[in-house]
Amino acid sequence: MRDTVFLELPNGTTLDLESAVIVEGSAQEKPRVEFHFPRQIDGRVTIDPESDRIVFHCKASAKTPRPDRDNSLSLRAEFKPRTMRVHGAPDL
């Protein structure tokens, strides 16, 4: 999974996945996958809360392909940390 899930940072570098957690969900929640990335590396913050844009990349394919189905997916989502605030503080 580390090769197919990563963040693209503004300076052109990538931030590798630290862990992924499958949450089964409850009666009130749907099942989901949580992707966790390191907050710091060598004592330095990995994501600047003033960044204009961070891009999440994820590619996956089925373990057992099924005929007549699309057996892979590719996700790309952009986040804007500068605008992600809660009570004026960064929400990362």
Annotated domain spans of the chain: 5-90
pLDDT for 16 equals 94
pLDDT, mean of each 10-residue run, the chain (92 residues): 84 92 88 92 91 93 86 92 87 76
pTM for the model stands at: 0.78
pLDDT for 75 equals 92
pLDDT for 26 equals 84
Query: Shortest CA distance to 11 belongs to which of 50, 58, 43, 59?
Result: 50
pLDDT for 77 equals 95
